[in-house]
């Protein structure tokens, strides 16, 4: 009887782990100008119709190495409307050379970009692109 209960609990636990995983996980690769950058982007279900986007970039150089006037990295998404939107500043650990961004979004199909930017808040991404990836999350 105990073995049967243990098996049921193990199956339920495994199902819980699978259901808690990301809906989408895609690799991120640096553009030719910053080809050392690698990373991943994950989408997970959030409240309602929203999804949590999390991106981690490794081997991320300092912004000024990408462009002399750059002081930070910004993450962007461009959804079906075609209008780019800033997700936020990519937090960079200079010792680990790792960058992270997390944001809650409604879009399921979008272009994800990280760009090197100056201090001003731009209306559109600069041409100094570190990563660019089209992402599509199928309805689950």
Instruction: List the chain pLDDT tens, one digit each, 140 residues.
Output: 444 544 444 444 434 444 456 789 999 999 999 999 999 999 999 999 999 999 999 999 999 999 999 999 999 999 999 999 999 999 999 999 999 999 999 999 999 999 999 999 999 999 999 999 999 986 54
Chain-centroid distance, C-alpha 136:
13
Beta-carbon count within 10 A of 87 CB: 19
What confidence score (pLDDT) does residue 3 get? Answer: 47
pLDDT of residue 22: 73
Q: How far apart are CA 102 and CA 99, in angstroms?
A: 11
pLDDT of residue 17: 40
What gap in Å lies between CA 19 and CA 37, rounded to an integer? 30
0.85 exceeded by pTM: no
Residues 22-136, CATH architecture: Sandwich (2.60)
Structure tokens at 81: 């409307």
Measuring CA to CA, how many Å separate 35 from each of 53, 60, 61, 79, 116? 23, 10, 10, 25, 14
Q: What is the DSSP string of the chain?
A: -HHHHHHHHHHHHHHHHHHHS-SEEEEEEB-GGGTT-EEEEEEEE-STT-EEEEEEEES---HHHH-TT--EEEEEEE-TT--EEEEEEPEEETTTTEEEEEEEE--SEEEEEEEEE-SS--SS--S-EEEEEEEE----
């Amino acid at each position: 009887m105990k073995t049967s209960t243990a098996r049921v609990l193990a199956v339920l636990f495994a199902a819980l782990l699978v259901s808690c995983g990301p809906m989408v996980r895609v690799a991120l690769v640096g553009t030719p100008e910053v080809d050392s950058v690698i990373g991943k982007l994950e989408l997970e279900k959030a409240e309602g119709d929203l999804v949590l986007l999390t991106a981690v970039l490794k081997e991320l150089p300092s912004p000024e190495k990408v462009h002399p006037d750059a002081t930070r990295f910004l993450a962007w998404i461009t959804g079906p409307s075609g209008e780019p939107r800033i997700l936020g500043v990519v937090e960079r650990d200079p010792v680990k050379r790792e960058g992270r961004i997390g944001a809650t979004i409604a879009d399921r199909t979008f272009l994800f970009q990280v760009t090197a930017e100056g201090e001003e808040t731009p209306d559109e991404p600069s041409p100094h692109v570190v990563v660019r990836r089209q992402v599509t999350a199928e309805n689950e």
